[in-house]
């Protein structure tokens, strides 16, 4: 699943999107509410995407490579 704002895009690997524990964790860690927990599934709140502060907390909370934060203003550079 991928959703884009004007400046920031977020991609969550479909293989982990249904992980209820991950959905709850992402919702908890993101300081600007970019993730929501939709009945145990990860969802991305499109309206909040451009508020991303590039803090990497979502990357640390998920299995490596399953969540990507993309800087749309920088040739879709992936937040490492």
Contacting residues toward ligand SF4, per CB under 6 A? 10, 29-32, 34, 52-58, 69
| Assigned token pair, 14 | 């479909």
Cα 21 to Cα 25, 37, 52, 61, 76: the distances in Å are: 6, 9, 22, 10, 28
Q: In the complex with ligand SF4, which residue's Cβ is closer, 54 or 64?
A: 54
Nearest distance in Å: CB 69, other proteins: 12
Question: CB of residue 67 vs ligand SF4: minimum separation in angstroms?
Answer: 7
CB of 30 to ligand SF4, least distance (A): 3
């Amino acid at each position: 699943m991928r959703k884009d704002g004007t400046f920031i895009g977020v991609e969550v690997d479909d293989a982990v999107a249904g992980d209820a524990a991950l959905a709850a964790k992402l919702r908890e860690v993101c300081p600007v509410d970019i993730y929501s927990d939709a009945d145990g599934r990860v969802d991305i709140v499109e309206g909040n995407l451009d508020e991303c502060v590039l803090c990497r907390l979502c990357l640390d909370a998920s299995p490596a490579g399953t969540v990507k934060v993309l800087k749309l203003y920088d040739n879709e550079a992936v937040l490492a």
